[in-house]
Every structure is written in C-alpha cells, then in structure tokens.
Chain A
Amino acid sequence: DQQVKQNSPSLSVQEGRISILNCDYTNSMFDYFLWYKKYPAEGPTFLISISSIKDKNEDGRFTVFLNKSAKHLSLHIVPSQPGDSAVYFCAASLRNQGGKLIFGQGTELSVKP
C-alpha cells in the first residue's frame, strides 16, 4: 500500500511563477515530512522539512505547508527558476522507526525560461 502519494508525475511552470507540488499521505502517525530534490544520475538531496506539530515552514524561496486534517502537504517554490527543474520527492518518517523514510513516487518539475 502506498502510504505517501504524489499524484502528479510532472509539472511545467514558467520561470518567475510559483510552483506548487503536492503530496498526500494515509498514516496519521507520521511525525516528520521532508522534501528531496533529485537531479539525474545523482542521489536525492534534502530540501526542506516540517514537523507534524507545525503547519508551515519556510526557507528562502521554498515553503512547505502541512494540512493534517486533510493528510496533505505541499511545497511552494517562488519564484521558480530553471535550475529548480528536477524530480521532487515527498518523504515521511514515523517516530521510533530508526529514521526509515517512506517516499512518494516523485513529481518532475520543469521550469521554462
């Protein structure tokens, strides 16, 4: 069963506009959520995270929103830049599970100049 889902395989956005990437989850016991960015032929790199006790976390151009009642989180990138073009993965962790992460399928973002 897919506990973390990213239902949009791809997203195309114009440079300078906002990119919104979505993620849904089913397990209400997840205590931490992370977003990773992945370029081809490289491993995922950490982007931003949010604890389940918060509803928003911001870091420069990147903001993650968490809606626990809807079991939904989103990553906002504004303004989007061509260098943001990559695959973005949402991941979740459970407390006392040793740091094991459960990933979504990923969304490929393309930012066009």
Chain B
Amino acid sequence: DTGVSQDPRHKITKRGQNVTFRCDPISEHNRLYWYRQTLGQGPEFLTYFQNEAQLEKSRLLSDRFSAERPKGSFSTLEIQRTEQGDSAMYLCASMSGTLYGYTFGSGTRLTVV
C-alpha cells in the first residue's frame, strides 16, 4: 500500500486547453474525494464518490469540470476549456470507514497560462 497517488504532480497548460488528472486511492478505501486549494486558503471540497457513485458535487464544480470513478477504483478529474482562475493545487483523498483514515495524495499543481 503506497498511499494515495496523484498524477501528474505538475501541469502547465494554455488557457482554453483541456486537462485531466488521475487519482489512485488506497485500495481498500471506498470513498474518494477531490479538493482544490489556492494560495493562502485551505482545501475546498469539490466532489466525492462512494465506490463508483458520485454522491455530491460542490457548486465550485462548474460545467467545465467532470469527475469519474469507473469501477470504484481510480478517479479522474477533467477540466475543459481551462481558465486562469483554475490554477490551483488539486488534491485527492480517500477514506475507509472513519475520518481517522482520511488520507490525502500529494496533489496536482495546475498552472494555466
């Protein structure tokens, strides 16, 4: 068990391009979360999955954002037509049954130029 893995670690993209991030949770964790963190702020909740079902989406997740978790394993977060305001650290976390087991990945830092 290597913890929560996120790929890529860094992504620089031009405004208007699409980007996709991947998260591999801890294998036995059935819940997977996506957060976004901007400079000087704490992580903000975006969405979460219980197995393959997406159970909640924040209003921060505009129509340009989509997340999937096929077969309840890894998850992808796609941003279409990126904007400069999308520049942030995107964090993935997974959890089994208790909050003690809430584990974050190292994040993907997105820079939109």
Contacts and interface: CB of A to CB of B under 8 A. Distances in A.
Interface stretch (B13-21, B37-45, B65-73, B80-88): B37-45
A32 interface: yes
Contacts of B111: none
Contacts of B33: 99-101
A89 B42 contact: yes
A103 B42 contact: yes
A98 B105 contact: no
A91 B42 CA distance: 9
A105 to B, nearest CB: 5
A43 B102 contact: no
Contact of B42 (A32, A42, A98, A105): A105
Interface string A40-55: 0111111001000000
Contacts of A6: 42
22 contacts: A6-B42, A34-B99, A34-B102, A41-B106, A42-B106, A42-B107, A43-B105, A43-B107, A46-B102, A49-B100, A91-B42, A93-B99, A98-B31, A99-B99, A100-B45, A101-B35, A101-B45, A101-B102, A102-B45, A105-B41, A106-B40, A106-B41
B98 to A, nearest CB: 9
A103 B105 contact: no
Interface in B93-107: 93, 95, 99-100, 102-107
